[in-house]
Amino acid sequence: MAPSIEKNLAVVRERMAEAAYRSGREPGAVTLVAVTKRQSAERVLEAYDAGCREFGENYVQELCEKAAQVGPRQGLRWHHIGQLQTNKARQALELAALVHGVDRESVAVALAKRAAEVGRVLPILVQVNVARESQKGGCDPVVLGALLDRCAALPSVRVVGLMTMPPFSEEPEDSRRYFRELHELRERFGGPARLPELSMGMSHDFAVAIAEGATLVRIGTAIFGERA
Ligand SMILES: *Cc1c(COP(=O)(O)O)cnc(C)c1O
């Protein structure tokens, strides 16, 4: 039998704390977002019972369905971590505490419009395609400053940080330069006072991300096992 979610979580939390400690950071400085895409509502609840409170989904449709199945729970928050289409802005806004993948002005505008309708200020992260991979979500680093300025002009969204997904590699160290570049971009555009959150690091490279300053790590398979 596969190790339980509870056991996996304990291992992940220990490795997170160790990585934070090694780089002189408080363990509480890094938040675990459990990525539940293609996992059942039952497994979400198992993770919730083991102490997880932050959950991430890539697709708005799946987020809606799962949030309905799981129902409201004390302290539970959903994150939208994938690419977002403007026509899904309303649903994303209704369910997500934080939207990680904003990479275009049109998406920020759509979210701001919906947020204004419900009288909410939505926290968002701007996704940066640090490695400039074609077909990958995220804005080009050269337009980041302009995009941040455009977002700052929208009263109903508030950019609270940056997000990135480096090119996939089996070797976690390969991600380091991309995490470091995201950190440097953050310093260039206002530092932690303006952009407190850095969402970077997944199952295989979260320890490296924490060493490079991640405040949010998005972890799926290390908690839930391989996806179906
Ligand atoms: C799936 C996904 C994750 C989690 O990946 P794992 O390798 O399963 O930890 C993190 N971030 C995004 C954007 C994802 O799509």
Each residue of 22-39: pLDDT tens digit? 999 998 999 999 999 999
Q: What is the pTM of this model?
A: 0.97
| Mean local confidence (pLDDT), 112-127 | 96
Q: Among residues 126, 137, 147, which one has the least CA distance to residue 195?
A: 126
**Which ligand 1 atom minimizes the distance to the CA of 206?**
9
Instruction: Report pLDDT for 107.
Output: 96
CA of residue 217 to ligand 1 center, whole Å: 9
Q: Indicate the pLDDT class of residue 49, thresholds 50, 70 and 90.
A: very high
Mean pLDDT over the full length of the chain: 96
Position 1 pLDDT exceeds 70: no
| Mean local confidence (pLDDT), 137-154 | 98
CA of residue 157 to ligand 1 center, whole Å: 24
Instruction: Report pLDDT for 186.
Output: 98
CA of residue 141 to ligand 1 center, whole Å: 21
**Which ligand 1 atom minimizes the distance to the CA of 58?**
15
**Which ligand 1 atom minimizes the distance to the CA of 202?**
9
Q: Which CATH number fits domain 5-69+76-224: 3.40.1080.10, 3.20.20.10, 3.90.420.10, 3.50.50.60?
A: 3.20.20.10
Q: Using CA positions, which residue lies closest to atom 12 of ligand 1?
A: 81
Instruction: Report pLDDT for 227.
Output: 86
| Mean local confidence (pLDDT), 89-101 | 93
Ligand 1 neighbourhood includes 200 CB (under 6 angstroms): no
Question: Which tens digit of pLDDT belongs to each residue from 160-205?
Answer: 999 999 999 999 999 999 999 999 999 999 999 999 999 999 999 9
| Mean local confidence (pLDDT), 103-121 | 96
